[in-house]
Amino acid sequence: MAGHEEAARILKEARDRGRRVLSEYDAKAFLGAFGIPVCREVVARDGEEAVEAARGLGYPVVLKGLGERLTHKTELGAVSLHLADAAAVRAEAGRILKIDGCEALLVQEMVKGLRELVCGLLRDPHFGPCVMFGLGGILTEILRDNTFRVAPLTREEASAMMEDIRGRAVLEPFRGEAAVDRETLCGILTALGEVGIRFPEIAEIDINPLKIRPDGKIAAVDALVVLAE
């Protein structure tokens, strides 16, 4: 399939460049090749390119630093949210580009929605590739409300994962926002299982947050893909 060929190309290019961690942009391109929905975004080399990208996406936007060493962008100050105009984008672009390890900028649409999920892939030494799903956002490590299944997953197993978490009510209508698109969410979880089987060179995938839009649709707004040594 063309999508899988594109995914393989992205991994090969990273390996050829000696990289173990895909850039956020490449990580989302890889996931998108498997039908996982991602937010709209553009790579920019400097502040003026970032402003042009922001105009195309529509304000407000998110601005992030891109670089192999910028795997924890928030802690490094390499993420700026709710930028409402060109002046704000220029100012933050100049600041972020000075961060050690920043190689480029990523301009993203500001995805609306009150609810955040997390999902991913890890390799257990005994069970092999496993898919993870749970509550996401900045409290993921505190709440630890997640569940796991051994890959590959059936759609039935993916649906069961949604019922496993304590906070499953977040998937229902919430404060005027629609219930989550469970069909798409099932597709994301089964796709991660497929990736785990098809690409043994991938050590880890982390999608956090996976944002639920007000209409129930889903978009990955941050993603990490780590290759095995």
Q: What is the pLDDT of residues 133-190, one digit of tens each?
A: 999 987 778 888 999 999 999 999 999 999 999 999 999 999 999 999 999 999 999 9
pLDDT above 90 covers a percentage of the chain that reads: 89
As to burial, measured by CB atoms within 10 angstroms (0-12 exposed, 13-18 middle, 19+ buried), residue 169 is: exposed
Measured CA to CA, the distance from residue 41 to residue 57 in angstroms comes to 8
pLDDT reading at 44 higher than 80: yes
Average pLDDT of the segment spanning 196-204: 96
Name the pLDDT band for 1 (thresholds 50, 70, 90): low
Measured CA to CA, the distance from residue 209 to residue 22 in angstroms comes to 17
pLDDT reading at 52 higher than 90: yes
pTM, 2 dp? 0.93
pLDDT at 149: 97
Q: Which residue has the tokens 């995805």?
A: 111
Helices 24-32 & 2-16 angle (0-180, nearest 10): 160
Is the sign of the CA dihedral 34, 143, 40, 181 positive or negative?
positive
pLDDT at 2: 58
Q: Report which DSSP code applies to 170.
A: G
Q: Which domains does the chain have, with CATH numbers?
A: 23-37+113-227 (3.30.470.20), 41-109 (3.30.1490.20)
Q: In angstroms, how far apart are the furthest CA atoms of the chain?
A: 52
pLDDT reading at 78 higher than 90: yes
Q: Report which of 229, 224, 211 is spatially closest to residue 25, judged by C-alpha positions.
A: 224
| Long-range contacts at 161-165 (CB < 8 A, ≥ 24 apart) | 161/131, 161/133, 161/189, 162/133, 164/133, 165/133, 165/134, 165/135
